[in-house]
Structure 1
Amino acid sequence: MPDLATLIGHTDAHAKRRRLPRLAIAAALILAAIAAALIWRQRAAAAHAGPAYVTEPLRRGDIHLDITATGNLEPTNEVTVGSELSGIILEVYVDTNDHVTKGQPLAKLDTSKLAQQTEAARATLAANQARVAQAEATLREARATLARQQELQRLSSGKLPSRADLDAAVAAADRAAADLLSAQAAVLETQAQLSINETDLAKAVIKSPIDGIILTRAIEPGQTVAASFTAPELFVIAEKLEHMKLNVAIAEADIGRVAAGQRATFAVDAWPGRAYTAAVLKVSYGSSITDNVVTYETELEVANDDLTLRPGMTATADIRVAESKNTFLVPAAALRFTPPSANAAPVAVSADGNNQKKSIVDSLMPRPPRSVRRPSADEPEAKPADTHGTATIWILRDARPEPLAVSTGLSDGRRTEIRSDALAEGLPVIIRTM
């Protein structure tokens, strides 16, 4: 049989095994109570604490308002050269991209038929001029005969010549005068026809009406030109591509801000990354309606000294309609902000969204920072505008929001210009709550 000491040892070991689970349960209950107390304390503190504010220091900067429009580049003056005459192209003297001067020959029509017609007109003119000389001589002779008949009648006291002879002399003189007038009219007619033929000969040589560059050439030697009711298009000449114009369409909602003299920049696909300068030259009063959208054509003058721009290029222009320099700017969110409760005790938060103090639970149980509230999809970004008016911003002073009335100016959709005598750089402007 086991002795008494052995029995006592077995009894103590069995008692220890029964006490261990009870101690573990008691320890777990104590820890749970402590955690519950801490959580309750944190929630109670949060219930009494005010909202946390995200601030941004007030700064100065530049802001501008641009209106964007699309259009096409065109020469300042573009001339279409045609032919008033029909015929066959004999020679072409220029090609596309050639520089030409005013009066320079561009092409020539076959003038063989015109030359023959001109020579015939000259011959007819000479014949008619001879008829005039002959008619003048006949008139002088008829008038002399009439004068002799009248003198004879005076000397014979009306006995000679007979009445019939005298009337015949008068009629002969009148016919001679009429023949002279007819011959003179024929000369004038022939001179006019000769002038027309000579003009046509000159028009057979097609010349440039301006100084410029050949954009298009639509003829070849041997081609037949038919000039009926309209002159056929043979060449298109652009005047001085060093200066061009950009015609853009401005929407009716923006046209009130656009005026002559405003500066602009534009870009073309041919030269990505390069910005060209321009200036508003003219704003049209006439409107265009396309798909129920009303636009107004606006002309911008463009310098093209290096000739990198070409007619017809599509350009997107930004017209500077207003700007302010070295002015106070705040985020657009600051103008929309309103404190949730004027009595709440706030907690200051920097613009990166981190609280200046951490709670006990956060210290014991680290976790990722709470996300900063961002505008939702239902809150579209504001459009650039000239928002002259009044507004209220909130400044964080002594850990509490204080309102400040300001005047608003330009806005680019992200920032807004504000003005007030109470403004100073570095003021903590509240933009949102955590």
Structure 2
Amino acid sequence: MNILSDPRKTAPATDESAQLASILAAAGVQKKSRHRRSWAVATLVILAVAGAGSYYYLGRSGAGYDYTTQTIKHGDLTVLVTATGTVQPTEQVDISSELSGTVRDVNVDYNSIVKTGDVLAVLDTDKLEADVKSSRAKVNSAKANVAKATAELASAESSLTRLRSLVKSNVSTLQSLEDSQYKYDSALAAKEINEAEVLAAEADQRLAEVNLDKARIISPIEGVILTRAVNPGATVAASLSAPVLFTIAGDLKKMELQVDVDEADVGGIAVGQKATFTVDAYPERTFPAEIEQIRFAPETTNNVVTYKAVLSVDNADLLLRPGMTATSDIVVKSIADTILVPNAALRYTPQAAESRGSRNIFSLFRPPRMGPRNTTAPAPTGPNRTIWILKSGTPSPVNVQIGSSDGRFTQVLSGELEGGDEVITDATARAR
């Protein structure tokens, strides 16, 4: 049996459901609207705070450097050329023997003071003395032969004169006269030969005496014995490359400093310039010197070209010794009472800061640039430069013309500078 529902009873239930759905939908819309407004307000607050922070951050970045300065001053400038070398005697002689033989006596030792003509050593002279005696005997024999030849010549001359008279008187024959003339000529020639033999014998005698003198090795100069390479009993062999027996230095109270000057600096030095130098033995003391010679001959070592400069040195107190290594400062130029700026100021260039107006809040969130950036400008050269003066906390450029430099300070020839100006030498960014 089918039961049919009454349409009049089901209609009200449907209407109530529709009303409930519409009420819930309206409430959901209102809730979503309130959530959207809350997110919008929060976003505006965040942006406001970030904007204020960025304004403060970017506003301070324009003055974010601390400057290192030095005061421009008036003073004296000394331009130096530094060179190294060694202290040497002004005169040094290596002594060898011209004769071969055995050393009999040695009269000096290291550091011995000698004078010109002092006997340093003596070779064995027995054979040399015998040679002198033999040569003297030969001279005497030759002279006797000359005397004999002279007598024979006188006899021949007398016979020739007598025969000439007899021939004129027809007492003697012409043949006898010719024989007498021949004897005279022979006697004259014999005399000349004997006289030449005397000269030769005398020369041999002088040579023997010289060799005897050379057996005594003497000092050719006044000075000090630096080295001695021979002892009594040693055998000396004379040759083209004879061994050095003694080395003598001249007066050590006057010495010289030989330094190697770089080819880039040799144009600035000249004879007569003053210098000072130091040696390792006396590091706290400086010694005066003066250039007395600049040699033209180049010296090349490992492709580096230098020129030898010789400086005279007074060593009256005998502190300096031959061979000491020295470092010299040659005074190339001295400038009195000039404006000086530190060389660091010539190398300083302000860092390029970004314009404040070109930066905004979004720049804070940009990712950092990757890779190196070369922000170093090449060092300027030439006499015209720009330096930066700090005035009221702000760098101000000043164009100047520079002159000589000693490596730390440079002379200013022209430019709007005054004593007491603070010149910038460096700048460092402040910590934020």
What's the TM-score once normalised by structure 1's chain length? 0.76
Q: Structure 1 residue 334: deviation in Å? A: 2.3
Rounded Cα–Cα distance in structure 2 between residues aligned with 1:232 and 1:215 = 15
**Which of the two has higher C-alpha Rg?**
2
Aligned match of 1:259: 270
Aligned match of 1:245: 256
- Which AA in structure 1 matches 2:284? G
Contact 1:217 1:236 in 2 (8 A): yes
Rounded Cα–Cα distance in structure 1 between residues aligned with 2:142 and 2:76 = 85
Residue 409 of structure 2 corresponds to residue 415 of structure 1: yes
Aligned match of 2:308: 297
> Residue 414 and residue 131 in structure 1: after superposition, are their counterparts in 2 closer, same or farther (change >3 A)?
closer
3-state DSSP of counterpart to 1:245: strand
Rounded Cα–Cα distance in structure 2 between residues aligned with 1:40 and 1:342 = 17
- Which AA in structure 1 matches 2:140? A
Contact 2:386 2:397 in 1 (8 A): yes
Equivalenced residue count is: 370
Contact 1:389 1:408 in 2 (8 A): yes
3-state DSSP of counterpart to 1:250: strand
Query: Where does structure 2 lack aligned partners over 5 or more consecutive residues?
Result: 1-42, 357-373
**Partner of residue 314 from structure 1, selected from 319, 325, 347:** 325
1:15-414 maps to which residues of 2 (within 5 A)?
39-46=53-60, 53-156=67-170, 160-339=171-350, 389-414=383-408
> Residue 57 and residue 239 in structure 1: after superposition, are their counterparts in 2 closer, same or farther (change >3 A)?
same
Contact 2:347 2:379 in 1 (8 A): no
Rounded Cα–Cα distance in structure 2 between residues aligned with 1:290 and 1:427 = 47
Q: Deviations over 1:287-333 (max 9, x none)?
A: 12222221111112222222222112222222222333443222323
Q: Deviations over 1:90-123 (max 9, x none)?
A: 1111111011111111111111111111111112
Query: Where does structure 1 lack aligned partners over 5 or more consecutive residues?
Result: 1-28, 346-375
Contact 1:103 1:209 in 2 (8 A): yes
Percentage identity across aligned positions?
A: 42
Q: Structure 1 residue 78: deviation in Å? A: 0.5
Q: Structure 1 residue 258: deviation in Å? A: 1.8
Q: Structure 1 residue 388: deviation in Å? A: 7.3
> Residue 40 and residue 314 in structure 1: after superposition, are their counterparts in 2 closer, same or farther (change >3 A)?
same
Rounded Cα–Cα distance in structure 2 between residues aligned with 1:33 and 1:399 = 34
Contact 2:399 2:415 in 1 (8 A): no
Contact 2:86 2:323 in 1 (8 A): yes
Rounded Cα–Cα distance in structure 1 between residues aligned with 2:63 and 2:242 = 87
> Residue 426 and residue 189 in structure 1: after superposition, are their counterparts in 2 closer, same or farther (change >3 A)?
same
3-state DSSP of counterpart to 2:245: strand
Q: Structure 1 residue 47: deviation in Å? A: 5.9
Aligned match of 1:4: none
Aligned match of 2:6: none
3-state DSSP of counterpart to 2:318: coil
Contact 2:85 2:327 in 1 (8 A): yes
Rounded Cα–Cα distance in structure 2 between residues aligned with 1:285 and 1:143 = 72
Aligned match of 2:370: none
Contact 1:323 1:410 in 2 (8 A): no
Q: Structure 1 residue 262: deviation in Å? A: 2.0
Rounded Cα–Cα distance in structure 2 between residues aligned with 1:207 and 1:281 = 31
Contact 1:390 1:407 in 2 (8 A): yes
Contact 1:49 1:344 in 2 (8 A): no
Contact 1:51 1:344 in 2 (8 A): no
Q: Structure 1 residue 431: deviation in Å? A: 3.2
**Partner of residue 431 from structure 1, selected from 402, 425, 430:** 425
Aligned-residue Cα RMSD (Å) equals: 3.3
> Residue 269 and residue 154 in structure 1: after superposition, are their counterparts in 2 closer, same or farther (change >3 A)?
same
